Amino acid sequence: MTATTTKTVRRPNARRLSRAARTERNWALIMVAPTILGLLILNVWPFLQTIYASFCNHLGFGYYEFTGLDNYINMFKSADFWKATWNTVYFCILTVPIGVFLALLVAILLNSKVKFKSGFRTVFFLPMVCAPAAVTMVWRWIFNSEYGILNQILGTHINWITNPNVAMISCAIVAIWSAIGYDAVLLLSGLQNISKSYYEAASLDGASKVTQFFHITLPMVSPTLFVVLIMRLMASLKVYDLIYMMVEDTNPALTSVQSLIYLFYRESFVAGNRGYGSAIAVWTVLLIGIVTVVQFIGQKKWVNYDV
Amino acid sequence: MKKLSRLLAVVLAITLLLSMSGCGASDGKTHLTFQIWDVAQRDGMQAICDAYTEQHPDVVIEVQVTSWSEYWTKLEAAAESNTMPDIFWMHTDQILYYSDFGMLADVTDLYDDVDPNFYPEHYSEISLSNASGSNGRLYGVPKDKDNIVLVYNKEMFDAAGVSYPDETWTWDDLTSASQQIYDKTGKYGYMAYCDEQLGYWNFVYQAGGYILNEDGTASGYALPASADAIKFYVGLQQYDWCPTQTYFAETSPGTAFFSEIGAMFFEGNWNLLAELNNYPDMVGKWDIAVLPKCPNPASGDGRATISNGLCYATAARGKNLEVVKDVLRFFGSEEGQRIQGLSGAAIPAYLGLEETWSTVFETFDYMLDVQVCYDQFDYCVQYVNNASRPKWKSTVSDELLKIYSGEVDIEEGLAYMQQVADTASAPK
């Protein structure tokens, strides 16, 4: 009954806004217009074009010829494509759980009573400020099998970036190292929102630090943790620049680390097969979509939104 | 508050207008852009432009350098939106793609009023072929020509007591010298890395094989002569004196050579000047020689070196086409080519001017034996290309990498490379 009354009261308001409200609405539209336009022109339109291009053969210089499902058929038959898909998934498996776990660890340490806290925060955030290309160049020197510092310290002779079995792990190390600071800062803000009174009450009741972590910290930080997980997973599924910089096309490990977006780049821009490249891009979008949907379903089981 | 925001808007509008007017030419001159990819040749290109603008004060040419890796992505995007630079370098890899799509201006008739036989009189068949489209018309004015030479470290040869490479050298001398240098000095010998133009292509043609047949319609990867040469070349990495491909993926042979880690590698002569400049401490310690020949070629005399050449091109629908054509006419003239040679940028494609390129090498304390570059033009082989090469190039090189890493057996790999190149190259 109350619902219908509010409706009848609201309707005229919704139709005929007061002058002030209308001006406000117009201003709101004007204010978001640049973003919306940018999104439409720079994201949505190219995305639609990519979908169209994936059904075409690129003849050259933006001329396309419609070929139906050919690109998809060739793609699903291609061993390199499946290898790239697996490489991408493997990269996620290597980077996401370890990366997010380490970021959480760092965030908890930074949230505790340590000396030079702000100094540590700066140091951990530093990789985020550096250009990825510069970061990768430095890591390449660290990993250099002959003259790199890593093999010197370990006294080993591991081909960090040229051994097909090891190269992906090396890439994952750099990815984790680069992302830890950013994720940790996000998690830290989540941790700082937890009221101290929970911990005080828990310690009065005699709960140990470990119990406190699993029963207070983890549930309370889970919304932030979920955001970090989603973002990290998407970024990992789209990995390109890092691998491109680490592994050049003369590297025998290339096919073992080539991610989907790397393959897309080589097909579209090196070989000029933009139609086929677009099919790979569409596949990647689908993959990211599926993974994200699964995560959103899964979050109901472990993310806690009650404060 | 309102006044402030209005003032701000006015200031913004003015700066915007000012920055826009900066783009347009307001001095009544024709402004041209000239896009190149090699920073080492910027001064040489600038010198040619200066010589032209001195005679034509109403033209201004701006030389722009874009790195090789970005050059083609940018140029293709510019071609699609019809905003190509007025003049740009064109590479053999790409000229067929651009010209077949009508992106490049036909410059076959450029010199007709001067001399209808200008091109064949002053440029070699290979130079002209490198600048031609599939229809045989010229879509660029030949710029330079190059070939591949053997670079060697004199000190390591002295230390090992091996005589320097010369024109009598065969593949066997290359391997035995490498072995001796490795045994005596512990340094790497000949560094054979996975590369086509600077690597196995030379060996294939020396052995009497080919990568593509005469008319570019079929490949020859699996021909016995080609296959033997590629097997020999890939097999060099089995020796202790040659680093493996995993090494080269991290350290380029040039870096290894100029760090005095290896004694020999193949280099394109377009890099020599930059290497003299970049490694001043090494000047005098190294020299160049002709490529070793194949001791038992299936046909021919066992000699070959891959020769490529760039050309100057312009867009078919350029706004300043008439002015640009006049500039190109100058770039291809004896004077324009002479300036290029004297600047040391590259060996001029213009016949008879090759040795102007030596001038700049004379300024160093030790003069490289650049004469070998000129001598090698007698038996050079045109850079391998056909219209579909962009489509098969990366598949073939990926397969070769798999051969190097042992993932694929060499016979199988060559058969696959042959099949990929054949399918793409077959006339449609």
Give which of B5, B67, B250 to mutate to test A binding, by max A Cβ within 10 Å. B250
> Is A272 within 8 Å of B246 when comparing Cβ atoms?
no
Q: What is the pLDDT along chain B (428 residues), one digit of tens a residue?
A: 455 566 556 555 665 555 544 445 567 889 999 999 999 899 999 999 999 999 999 999 999 999 998 899 899 999 999 999 999 999 998 999 999 999 999 999 999 988 989 999 999 999 999 999 999 999 999 999 999 999 999 999 999 999 999 999 999 999 999 999 999 999 999 999 999 999 999 999 999 999 999 888 999 999 999 999 999 999 999 999 999 998 998 889 999 999 999 999 999 999 999 999 999 999 999 999 999 999 999 999 999 999 999 999 999 998 899 999 999 999 999 999 999 999 988 999 999 999 999 999 999 999 999 999 999 999 999 999 988 888 888 889 989 998 998 889 999 999 999 999 999 988 86
Establish, for the pair of chains A and B, how many residue pairs have beta carbons separated by less than 8 Å: 75
Q: Which of A61, A159, A161 is nearest residue B79 as measured by Cβ atoms?
A: A61
B46 shares its domain with B136: yes
Same domain, B229 and B280: yes
Residue B277: closest CA among B19, B43, B26:
B43
Say whether pLDDT at A119 is over 90: no
pLDDT at residue number A6: 44
Spell out the alpha helix ranges (H) of A193-217: 196-204, 209-212
| Residue whose entry in the numeric block shows the structure tokens 């350290």 | B251
Look at residues B350, B324, B315 and name the one whose alpha carbon lies nearest to residue B336. Answer: B350
Is this prediction's ipTM beyond 0.85?
no
The verdict on residue B12 lying in a domain is no
Instruction: Let me know if residue B202 belongs to a domain.
Output: yes
**Same domain for B254 and B337?**
no
- What's the one-letter identity of residue B263? A
pLDDT tier for residue A252 given thresholds of 50, 70 and 90? confident
Percent with pLDDT over 90 in chain A: 53
Same domain, B346 and B289: no
SS3 A241: helix
- Under 8 Å CB-to-CB from A222, ≥6 apart: which residues? A302, A303, A304
Minimum distance, in Å, between the CA of residue A165 and any CA atom of chain B:
12
Residue A43, classified by CB atoms within 10 Å of its CB into exposed (0-12), middle (13-18) or buried (19+), is exposed
Q: Are residues B332 and B232 in the same domain?
A: no
Query: Looking at the structure, do residues B48 and B87 belong to the same domain, yes or no?
Result: yes
Å between B79 CA and nearest CA of chain A? 7
Answer yes or no: do B45 and B156 share one domain. no
B163, amino acid identity:
S
What CATH number is attached to the domain comprising B164? 3.40.190.10
- Co-location of B138 and B269 in the same domain: no
B267 has which bridge partners?
Answer: B149
Residue B32 lies in a domain: yes
Strand, coil or helix: A82:
helix
For position A9, what pLDDT does the model report?
47
User: Is A254 in Cβ contact with B401 (below 8 Å)?
Assistant: yes
Domain hosting residue B49, numbered range: 27-145+308-352
Count of domains for chain B: 2
Q: What is the pLDDT of residue A14?
A: 54
pLDDT of residue A5: 43
Chain B: residues touching A (Cβ < 8 Å): 73, 76, 79-80, 97, 100-101, 103, 193-195, 245-251, 390-391, 393-395, 397-398, 401-402, 404-405, 407
Q: Residues near A173 by Cβ (< 8 Å), separated by ≥ 6? A: none
Tell me whether residues A272 and B390 touch, CB distance under 8 A.
yes
Distances (CA, A) of B146 to B117, B133, B340: 24, 20, 14
Find chain B residues with C-beta within 8 A of A247's C-beta.
249
pLDDT of residue A146: 83
For residue B406, the chain A residue with the least C-alpha distance is A252
* Best residue of A59, A61, A254, A264 to probe chain B, by most B CBs closer than 10 Å: A61
Chain A: closest CA distance from residue B397 (Å): 8
Instruction: Report how far residue B11's alpha carbon sits from residue A44's, in angstroms, rounded to the nearest whole number.
Output: 33
Q: Which residue has the tokens 């494509």?
A: A81
Does residue B58 sit in the same domain as residue B197? no
Q: DSSP strand E in B166-261: where?
A: 188-190
Provide, as residue numbers in chain B, all residues whose Cβ is less than 8 Å from the Cβ of A255.
398, 401-402, 407
DSSP designation for B300: S
Domain extents for chain A?
78-302
Judge whether B42 lies within some domain: yes
Distances (CA, A) of A43 to A49, A50, A290: 10, 10, 20
Rounded to 5 degrees, φ, ψ at B31 are -100, 125
B347/B395 same-domain check: no
B123 within a domain of the structure (yes/no) = yes
Q: Report how far residue B406's alpha carbon sits from residue B398's, in angstroms, rounded to the nearest whole number.
A: 12
Same-domain pairing of B418 and B318: no
Pick one of 1.10.3720.10, 3.90.280.10, 3.60.20.10, 1.10.10.10 as the CATH number of A78-302: 1.10.3720.10
If phi over 0 gives left and psi between -120 and 50 gives alpha, with beta otherwise, what is residue A120? alpha
Pairing, β B87-90 against β B188-190: unpaired
Residue in B closest to A164 by C-alpha: B405
Give the whole-angstrom CA distance, residue A278 versus residue A75: 11
CA distance B27 to chain A (A): 34
Q: What pTM does this model have? A: 0.82
- Asked if the Cβ–Cβ distance from A266 to B394 is below 8 Å, we say yes
Percent with pLDDT over 70 in chain A: 94
The answer on B117 and B31 residing in a single domain is yes
For A273, nearest residue in chain B (alpha carbons): B391
| Chain A residues with CB-CB distance to B97 below 8 A | 60, 272
**Cβ contact, residue pair B393, A271, below 8 Å:** yes
Residue tagged 């067929």 (tokens): B96
State mean pLDDT over A143-163: 90
Lowest mean pLDDT of A171-185, A231-245, B18-32, B292-306, name the range: B18-32
**Is the pLDDT reported for residue A7 higher than 60?**
no
pLDDT on residue B18: 53
Q: Is B1 exposed, middle or buried (0-12, 13-18, 19+ CB in 10 A)?
A: exposed
- Could you tell me if residue B366 is inside a domain? no
Contact A158, A151 (CB under 8 A): yes
Report pLDDT for B26: 64
For residue B182 the two structure tokens come to 């490795």
